[in-house]
Amino acid sequence: MPVMTYREALRQGLREEMLRDERVFIMGEDVGKNWGGAFKVTKGLAEEFGDERVRDTPISENTIAGAAVGAAITGMRPVAEIMFGDLITLAMDQVCNQAAKMRYMFGGQTSVPLVIRTVFGGGKNIASHHSQSLEAWFMHTPGLKIAVPAFAYDVKGLIKTAIRDPNPVMFFEHKLVYDKKEEVPDEEYLIPFGEARVHREGDDVTVWGTFLMVHKAIAVADQLAKEGISVEVIDPRTLVPLDKKTLLESVKKTGRLVLVTEETKTGATTAEIAAIVQEEAFDWLDAPIVRVNAPDTPVPFSPTLEQFFIPDEKRIAKAVKSIL
């Protein structure tokens, strides 16, 4: 199989869906010919499909989301890009009160086949307004599906599944994984929502994480293997629907669980996962669940402080060893 970056795999998935279904179109700030997206994901698509199907929009997140909702309920398949995930705050009514609730409130008479792509996470030294991880906010909103692909293979299969879904999908990416490479098939494939990916099997501790933290957890597992510690690494791939089965089976095998995300700790997705395991697999736990998150502060601009803020391999390894 060819090796490609996360960015290239995502672009290929978008392109395949645009070729397959003329209702699919992309909209957002600077997604067109002049720029190709802030992170170059849509580069070249406007040249191939034209300005009607790759639409540059005003710098107005609530307008982007509102127009995308309208397009979706009238038969189109919009993929709306919000340049930075932090700025979805400007479109919370359109996303959480409109897109998420329309199918339910209209008794199934309409669907909202909408994908909103955006980027979370730090590591670029661009301060608090452009570096947060806010996925838990949307996990708390019934009616939204949430994809959190961390690898190139997954991002292609999940974006295709998201575009074909009749429900609104929040498609979250991380700034620091766009250049990471993996083997990705050229032929079409879909990845079902609600199926986690076990990157490494182990017997001593389960580590569950998202985005860049999955990459760090794998590195920690490789290092700890040299010390005789067997770590199982699980990537949920989607938060809604959530693959509880894979998580609980792993915890029942290892008896220990470390949860790692880049979110600030209070109210993070890790809290929900810990609660699920506490409720449904308590009798199999041999040690307390440990959470590794960012501290409850705004994301700092200073490179040194941001480096301290974001969980690293040392903190993950320390958490694993703390419950052995």
Annotate 210-269 with three-state secondary structure. Answer: CCHHHHHHHHHHHHHHCCCCCEEEEECCEEECCCHHHHHHHHHHHCCEEEEEEEECCCCH
Q: What's the predicted TM-score (pTM) here?
A: 0.97
- pLDDT, position 297: 97
- pLDDT, position 119: 98
Calculate what percentage of the chain has a pLDDT beyond 90: 99
Q: At what angle do helices 152-164 and 6-20 cross, to 10 degrees?
A: 30
CA 273 from chain center: how many Å?
16
pLDDT single digits (tens) 52-80: 999 999 999 999 999 999 999 999 999 99
- pLDDT, position 173: 98
- pLDDT, position 254: 98
- pLDDT, position 72: 98
The mean pLDDT of 183-201, rounded to a whole number, is 97
- pLDDT, position 153: 98
| Contact of 243 with 198, CB cutoff 8 Å | no
- pLDDT, position 101: 98
The 3-state DSSP class for residue 301 equals coil
- pLDDT, position 224: 98
Share the mean pLDDT of the chain. 97
Beta partners for residue 183, in sequence order: 3
130 is known as an active-site residue: yes
- pLDDT, position 181: 98
pLDDT band for position 214 (cuts 50, 70, 90) = very high
- pLDDT, position 210: 98
The mean pLDDT of 106-114, rounded to a whole number, is 96
Catalytic residue among 130, 174, 199, 215: 130
Joined together, the tokens standing for residue 13 give 């998935």
Domains of the chain (ranges; CATH) run 3-183 (3.40.50.970), 197-322 (3.40.50.920)
- pLDDT, position 54: 98
pLDDT band for position 139 (cuts 50, 70, 90) = very high
Beta partners for residue 172, in sequence order: 118
The mean pLDDT of 140-160, rounded to a whole number, is 98
pLDDT band for position 260 (cuts 50, 70, 90) = very high
Alpha helices in the chain (DSSP H): 6-20, 45-49, 61-73, 92, 102-105, 135-139, 152-164, 212-225, 244-254, 269-280, 303-309, 313-322
